[in-house]
Structure 1
Amino acid sequence: MQPTVFITGATAGFGEACARRFAQAGWSMVLTGRREERLLRLADELSGQAEVLPLVLDVRDRAAMQAAISQLPEGFNRLRGLINNAGLALGTEAAQACSLDDWETMVDTNIKGLLYSTRLLLPRLIAHGRGASIVNLGSIAGNWPYPGSHVYGATKAFVRQFSLNLRCDLQGTGVRVTNLEPGLCESEFSLVRFAGDAHRYEAVYAGAEPLQPADIAETIFWLMSQPAHININSLEVMPVTQAWSNFQIERGR
């Protein structure tokens, strides 16, 4: 029987790249996404390589998540992997000028959506036992502050601490937990953050040689392919062109 992985946010970016990488390896997959047409098209494309179950839903909808997971077909019930990928950043304004609605959406998606999928799928991962893996998509923003990151960075700091705490609770079950923290990566993520502004999107990556979603998918596949006795607690991944800068100092007062 082929291993099964559950991937949230599979219609673009890291999630779509993960679906392609795991299909290439023959894993069975449960793929979730809000955009029905894109999700079904991806599932149809990959069905020649692997067993694919598409679930059109929003991870923020607790009732929908509960209903879908409770009705998983037998062939997709015994999970070896969960990739908590669904997440987003909205806006780059300073905290005092940003949208409170954007803050709420980031909290609901990046924190609550991740909590729903994790809690609802933990029994299946524990039933698999040794070698099962949870990979949570954090961010370097959860470790390093920058202007305009406010709630987004805070949600990713939550993901980091939640991942570490899960490790404590899952001790003895054989289930592994990793917080993967990408840096600059070229994906739809930034287009969403800039409200579809293509010029701002292109300016972020111009000449930077950023990471690509396929790079992150390959990293996640590697994490889940490690021997069952190895747990990689956290992994920060940045392009060579990205590094830290000096602290800001306000002068002239």
Structure 2
Amino acid sequence: MSIFNASRLQDKVVLITGASAGIGAATAILFAKAGSNVILSARRTDALKTVTDACVAAHKESGLKAGGKFAAVSLDVGDKQQVATFLERVPEDLKNIDILVNNAGFVLGVEKIGDIAEADFEAMFNVNVFGLIRVTQLVVNGFKARNTGHIINLGSVAGREPYAGGGIYCATKHAVRSFTGTLLRELVNTKIRVSEIQPGMVETEFSVVRFRGDKSAADKVYEGLQPLVAEDIAEEIVWAASRPPHVNIAEVFVLPVNQASPTINYRESK
């Protein structure tokens, strides 16, 4: 717990999208350890229950009396109606959200431009960009009314530098970076904080989804180097959220030690 000041996070209400696995799940568990109350949202309700149980266990292990309220609420950020009615399905004592972690996002395929299925690029934009905007708009006016809050968006190295085979995903993450920058500027006259966490290679189910379930192809992405894991990024998110109220960590760019860009990395030979 020494990586952040947990006392600043106790009894805070945190909403995390895409919390059923990977970075979202790890972040929920770490906030639970810090004494926060967490709303876990994702499409996969069975997986959400598993993560919620892990949050309960983590909070109990922490020994903290603060926090400990957890709610799993199904949400497909790509569905306008589900987002519009989301707060109606959140327990009353968790409706005043303090921290929003826009984590939901994914990538499909490595096709080059000209060969990308329209359904794939529509799906990526709908979740990675439109979904993030929808959820932000859902909570930001409440933040403005209370003049407090923290929006933490999950960007990517792909939002800093494009690469071949990532035309749509890179475009969505560039959009996230631009949207986050706009938020930062629009909210400068408030006490609302805005952060973007930009990971490089993180070994989660991300690449399995990209390769449409082909685990062997996904594993090759990380061959010969030690990638980041979900817990590494969760630590950065929770650390940013735990800074003093007058401190805003606007951008965190995190790479494994053997990666320098989307296409520059060092791999040990077998």
The alignment's TM-score, normalised by the length of structure 2, stands at 0.87
| d(CA) in 2 for partners of 1:116, 1:91 | 25
Letter in 1 for 2:82: A
Q: Deviations over 1:128-179 (max 9, x none)?
A: 434x211100111111111111111011011001001011221222111111
Matched, 1:112 2:120: no
Q: Deviations over 1:172-204 (max 9, x none)?
A: 221111111100110111110010101111111
Secondary structure at 1:135 match in 2: strand
Please list every run of 5 or more consecutive structure 2 residues that lacks an aligned counterpart in the other structure: 1-9, 60-67, 265-270
1:59 to 61, 77, 82: 77
Q: What's the counterpart of residue 30 of structure 1?
A: 39
The alignment's TM-score, normalised by the length of structure 1, stands at 0.92
2:194 to 170, 177, 183: 177
Letter in 1 for 2:92: E
1:149-228 superposed matches below 5 A: 149-228=166-245
| d(CA) in 1 for partners of 2:123, 2:82 | 17
| d(CA) in 2 for partners of 1:226, 1:138 | 20
Of 234-243 and 213-222, deviating more is 234-243
2:120 to 96, 102, 108: 102
1:44 to 43, 47, 53: 53
Give how far 1:44 is off. Answer: 2.9
Matched, 1:18 2:36: no
Contact residue 167 and residue 177 of structure 1 kept, 8 A: yes
Secondary structure at 1:96 match in 2: coil
Give how far 1:243 is off. Answer: 1.5
Contact residue 80 and residue 128 of structure 1 kept, 8 A: no
Q: Cα RMSD between the aligned structures?
A: 1.5
Contact residue 30 and residue 55 of structure 1 kept, 8 A: yes
| d(CA) in 2 for partners of 1:189, 1:153 | 14
Moved over 6 A (4+): none
Identity of aligned residues (%): 39
